[in-house]
Each structure stands twice: as structure tokens, then as C-alpha cells.
Amino acid sequence: MSGLPKKILVANRGEIAVRVMRSCHELGIQTVAVYSEVDRKALHVRMANEAYCIGPAPSSQSYLRGDAILEVAKESGADAIHPGYGFLSENAGFAQKVLDAGLVWIGPKPFAIQAMGSKTESRARMVAAGVPVVPGGTEPIVSPEEALSIANDMGYPVMIKASAGGGGKGMREVSKEEELIPAFNAARSEARNSFGDDSVYIEKRIIRPRHVEVQVLADQHGTVVHLFERDCSIQRRHQKVVEESPCPVLLPETRRAMTQVAIQAAKAVHYEGAGTIEFLLGEDQSFYFLEMNTRLQVEHPITEMVTGVDLVQAQIRVASGEALSFSQEDLQQKGHAIECRVYAEDAANNWAPSPGLLRCYTEPSGPSIRVDSGVYEGSEVTVYYDPMVSKLVVWGENRADAIRRLKRALNEYQILGIQTSIPFFQALMDDADFLSGVYDTGFLTQEKMNQLTAYDDSIDPDLVAALAILALEKDLTLKPAVSKRQHSKWKWFYQEKR
């Protein structure tokens, strides 16, 4: 064993870069940030020991430029690279180049990334490994007739999916026979336009499915443990919005089976490091492999909170060749953790992005609350990257306690200058269906969104008085010339909806 890295380059930005650097600093490891031209003042640059500009704002010219990042690694003398999530984290070619440069890649071997990167290949591998998959072929289907015959055999509803797909592109649900052929043709054409590859396959549509995923951690010595599950069924446009652990409806025997299957899946690709196996969970507790994410997940903090394991520290240790310091028996799922992804988005307006300057930014605090953030008061949410502002993660002795704490924390958040999804979360935490724990990935229907973003028109008179007082205070302290300009200015007005 050659010991831990001395200096880690974090090939990412935002909250995940900050979070990774914190673990590095705790291990006494120096950190190198890379940044694009608009990110000079970003929190991850401020947090790092060294920082290098790698190009203009668009990701394709900065955070996705593997060559520039390897340059920086060489120049800075970094001996390892942590990719975070997104960007280059699941790029097997980049991982290989990192290894070829003699650096430690804090992630699985390129082979595992590749094997799990293609839906068709990963599905075939999982079937071979005895992992349950959603009924349906993994082979690309070329003719409408073949599609029809497969779908009829399987029974409706079915899903048509693009082999190279993601983010809902090239995906169609078909609930009866006569809809199949038009949907098949549309999916192929969309897949071709989106991915340059028109391969599609058909699988059984699971009714009222939940998205439940299992965190695994594997060292280079063949040990694989699981860190229990996360339920990520609250989604909009196939993007996770709220995650919780444990899954409120998972039966103990299903948990045992699902986590065992997850370990099987990881072993099937000789997995190393932290990874996540995503499943669909049916109403009858049947579950089916969806895909594997060969990197740290956005929602990893809820697993850290219920298990006490620092996943980033564990990633660094196993990538350095250390054996896992704990066994499966040491791991417990204690209490309940929930994460809300606070986005610069207007939930009431079809999640329209709301970039801008954070005129005020105060995070909640107190017992069992964690805020992972890449922003600060005065920083800007730009249009160039994912508009996530921060992740609010809370822990409670049980689900009800965690929800109570979340409500309190959401009320303590103070963000001005942009619209955020906080009002949506505040409404969600009072929603009877969410509180029941019985929901599925279709939870956020248009109707539910309308309920959760319903406009409360009542105005507190003290709020009106507060505005008048602050305006007067400002007028009294400003020079007349400035205050004149202030008053003549036309202002857009609305209340944040919830």
C-alpha cells in the first residue's frame, strides 16, 4: 500500500467539489480546484489550496476538457483525481487517461464504467449475474412488427426506451396495442436525433413504481458492502427532487434481498469504490434493476447520515488500495434522513430556471441539519451549469421527526435575488400523500403540482408595515439624488408562490 494521495485534483465545481475538498482536508490532503472563467469567485475555488482556470464558461470548454484537467494535474503535482458527479465522472475514456498518466482515479476501473454505461450491455450483464431486470428484451428492436409481437407477448403497459438514452429522451409509454407502432417510430426518431443512435428496446411498464437505489462500496481486495437504500421517487421530468433513507415502504425481507442483489451486481463488474444500483420497486415489493451509477450520487449525504460513513473518505481510502475498515455487520441504518435539492427554479412556473445574484443567503442551522452548498451571499447562479443552490439534508430519530426538522429548517432558509424550490418543499412537507410515505415516481402530477404551488393571497399587515419601514429607513439614509432614482424605478412584483 502506497498510502493516501498527497494532493487531489477535484475535477468538478459547486457543492460536490466543496464537499469532496472538506473530506480531503480532514485527511490532511491538499486540494486543487479547476474552474471556468465565470467561476473565479466560486466557493470551490475559495475552498481549495490551489486553483487553475481551464477555460470559458461552457462545460464543453472547461469542466469537460479532460486534456486541460490532466495538464493541471501535472502542473500542480496532484497524484489523484476525484471527478465528483456529472461532467467526466462516468467517462471511461477519461478515467483510463488518468490511470495512464500514473494518477489515482477515485472511482471504479474504466471497465466497470463502460460495462454499466450502456443500458443494453449492463442489462445483459445483470441478467447473466442473476439480477432481476424489468421483463423485456435488451436487444435493440429494428422492425415495428417485432416490436408489436414482443409487446403483445409481454402484456401492456410497456415502455419503449432508447439504448443510449437518458433524461427521458427517446422514451415512450404505451398502454394499448394500437398505440405501439406510432410510439415505436417516434421513439426511434427521437433517439436518433438526441443520441445519434436509433436503437430502442421494449420493457414491461411497472405500475406505480418507486425508485429505490442501493449504495455499495467495494475495495480492491474483493470486499463489497452495501449501505442500505435510498428512495428517490419524488421526481419531476425524471429528475430527483427529494430523497429519503430508509424507503418508507420497503419490507425488511425485500431490503435484505435487494441489498444482496446490489452486491451481486457490483461483483459482476468487479466494482471498486462507491456506486449505486438503481431499482424499480413494484407495489408488490418486486424489484427490477434499472441501472448502475458508477460514481458518487448527489443524494449520498442521506446515506452518510443514517450509516455514519463518510463516503468520500471511503472513496479516497479504497482508491488508495486500503481495505474497507468496516464489515457489513458493522453497518446499521439508524434513524431517518431526507434531502431536498434546493434549486434556483420556480416550481410554480413549470420549474423555470431562475438564475441571478444571491442578494441574501442564510442557511438553516442546528441539531442534525447539514447543508451542502456551493454558493454564498453575493455569489451568482449562472445559466451555464446545473441551477442547484444547495442540498438541505436532515436527520431524525424517525421519519416524522425528520420531516418536522425539515420544515423548521426550510423556514430558516433565507434566500433573496432568485426564486428557489423552497416554497415547493414547504408545501410538500404538509402534503398528506407525502406524509403517508405511500407514493411513487408519478407523484408529481400536474394536479399535485397545482396543489403544491397554490397561491396564498393573504397578506400579513406586519409585512406591509415592514416594507414601509425599510423603505423609509433607506430613504432617510440615502442621498436625495439616489433616493429619487430609487422611487421612479419601475418594479416587477409578485409573491413567491407555494
Partner 1 sequence: MRYEITLNDQVFLVEVNKTETGYTYAIDGGEEQHCSAERLSFNRHALLFRQRSVDVQYSLDEDAEIHFEGRRYVANIMDPRKKSIKMASGGSGDVVRSQMPGRVISILVSEGDTVSKGQIVATVEAMKMENPLKAPRDGVIASVDVAPGDLLEAKGVLLSLRPVD
The residues of the shown chain that bind a second copy, judged by CB under 8 A, are: 18-19, 22-23, 25-28, 301, 304, 308-310, 313, 326, 332, 334-335, 363, 365-373, 395, 397, 401, 404-405, 407-408, 411
Q: In the complex, what is the shortest distance from the CB of residue 409 to partner 1, in angstroms, rounded to a whole number?
A: 10
Helix (H), strand (E) at residue 144? helix 144-154
List the interface residues with partner 1, window 55-94 (CB under 8 A): 75-76
- Residue 413 to residues 18, 94, 311, 360, 364, Cα–Cα distance (Å): 20, 38, 26, 10, 5
Gap between the Cα atoms of 238 and 85, Å rounded: 17
Instruction: Select from a second copy, partner 1, none the partner in contact with residue 25, using the beta carbon and a kind-dependent cut-off of 5 to 8 Å.
Output: a second copy
How is residue 155 written as a grid cell? Answer: 402484456
Answer yes or no whether residue 193 interacts with partner 1 by CB under 8 A.
Answer: no
Q: Does 496 sit near partner 1 (CB under 8 A)?
A: yes
Tell which one of 261, 415, 444, 449 touches partner 1 (CB under 8 A): 415
- 35-64: burial string, b at 16+ Cβ within 10 Å, e else: bbebbeebbbbebbebbbbbbeeebeebbb
Report the residue number, 2 or 492, with the smaller CB distance to partner 1. 492
Handedness of CA 303, 304, 305, 309 (dihedral sign): positive
Distance CA 304, CA 337 (A): 9
Q: How far apart are CA 6 and CA 24, in angstroms?
A: 9
Q: Is 209 helix (H, G, I), strand (E, B) or coil?
A: coil
Q: Which is nearer to a second copy, 205 or 336 (CB)?
A: 336
The stretch among 102-110, 135-143, 282-290, 453-461 that binds partner 1 (CB under 8 A) is 453-461
The interface partner of residue 260, options being partner 1, a second copy, none and the CB cut-off 5 to 8 Å by kind, is none
Is residue 210 annotated as part of the catalytic site, yes or no?
no
- Rank residues 332 and 486 by Cβ distance to partner 1 and give the closer one: 486
Choose one: 45-53, 273-281, 298-306, 428-436; the region binding partner 1 (CB under 8 A): 45-53
Which SS3 state, helix, strand or coil, does residue 81 take?
Answer: strand
Q: Contacting partner 1 (CB under 8 A), which of 150, 202, 410, 452?
A: 410
E strand spans, 246-328: 273-281, 287-293
- 36 or 294: whose CB is closer to partner 1? 36
In the list 149, 365, 411, 451, the residue contacting partner 1 (rule: CB under 8 A) is 411
CA angle 86/90/92 to nearest 5° reads: 150
- Is 498 a residue that touches partner 1 (CB under 8 A)? yes
**Interface map 4-33 toward partner 1 (x if CB under 8 A):** -----------------------------x
Q: Which of 65, 205, 295, 317 is catalytic?
A: 295
Contact pattern for partner 1 over residues 109 through 148, marking x by CB under 8 A: ----------------------------------------
3-state class (DSSP) for residue 195: helix
Residue 102: all three cell numbers together: 500514473
CA distances from 270 to 77, 108, 154, 220, 312 (A): 30, 9, 32, 9, 20
- Whichever of 193 and 365 has its CB closer to a second copy, that residue is 365
Q: Which of residues 362-381 bind partner 1 (CB under 8 A)?
A: 362, 376-379
- Distant-in-sequence, close-in-space partners of 62: CB < 8 Å, separation ≥ 6: 34, 35, 36, 37, 54, 55, 56, 68
How many Cβ atoms from other residues are within 10 Å of residue 352's Cβ?
11
Q: Which residue in 1, 128, 463, 481 binds partner 1 (CB under 8 A)?
A: 463
Burial classification of residue 29, based on how many CB atoms lie within 10 Å of its CB (0-12 exposed, 13-18 middle, 19 or more buried): buried
Closest to a second copy by CB, 164 vs 406, is: 406
The item of partner 1, a second copy, none sharing an interface with residue 397, based on CB under 5 to 8 Å by kind, is a second copy
Strands (E) across 297-428 are located at 336-343, 345-346, 352-353, 356-357, 360-362, 369-373, 380-381, 388-396, 414-416
Task: Give min distance, CB of 117 to partner 1, in A.
Answer: 21
Rounded Cα distance between 17 and 372, Å, is 10
CA-to-CA dists, residue 444 to 234, 349, 433, angstroms: 7, 14, 11
- Sorted by sequence, the CB contacts under 8 Å of residue 401 that are 6+ apart come out as 335, 336
**Which listed residue (45, 104, 113, 338) binds partner 1 by CB under 8 A?**
45
Smallest gap from Cβ 454 to partner 1, in A, equals 12
HSE-up of residue 30 (Cα within 13 Å, Cβ side):
11
- With CB under 5 to 8 Å by kind, the binding choice for 323 among partner 1, a second copy, none is none
Residue 387 contacts which entry, a second copy, partner 1, none (Cβ below 5-8 A, type-dependent): partner 1
433 binds, among partner 1, a second copy, none (CB under 5 to 8 A by kind): none
Of 178 and 490, which has the nearer Cβ to partner 1? 490
Closer to a second copy at the Cβ: 268 or 422?
422
**Which residues are identified as catalytic?**
295
